[in-house]
Amino acid sequence: MMRRSRKEGWVLMETLVALVLLSIGVLAINRALRETLATRAIARDYTTARFLLEEKMGELEIQTGHLEGASSAGDFGEKQQRFSYAWSVARVDLPEPVIPVELQPFVIDLPELPEPYLGRISVTISWTRAGRNYSATAESLLSSKRLLVKEPPDVPAQPAA
């Protein structure tokens, strides 16, 4: 009668362990590929948003005047369905420089600001990908000569008592 070797059955175990290790490796590679594709898609979206942002900002900067407080929102139609924009114009008051007390005796002429305020155009591009919201924003400053400022309403004079 022949004796059975103790090594019978180890071939099956070695094969199962090798398959488990290979499957773990394949899963890791699969996940890395999915992450790469998702990162590439998001990068492409940010690039598209940057071009759309520059396009919308260029349209606004080419105009000769902007009304303080003006704003608008919209989309880019069929060419970029997932992307939308919003822009606004605001007044930015410039602070007057403060001269330290120690330097005031040495200052002959106080510096004057060339403009008391500037205009700020803010443009935001928004989009969604896989149920998540993304946005990119840019701002640009305008000369006060190009900003149409809303004047405060005239206050009627109080009659003398």
Q: What's the rounded Cα separation, in Å, for the pair 87 and 122?
A: 5
Q: Which of 24, 60, 53 is nearest to 134 (CA)?
A: 53
pLDDT-derived band at 161, boundaries 50, 70, 90: very low
pLDDT digits (tens, 9 = 90+) for 3-48: 665 666 678 888 888 999 999 999 999 999 999 998 999 999 999 9
This prediction's pTM:
0.68
- Listed by start position, the domains of the chain span 10-104+115-148
CB-CB contact of 60 with 121 (8 Å): yes
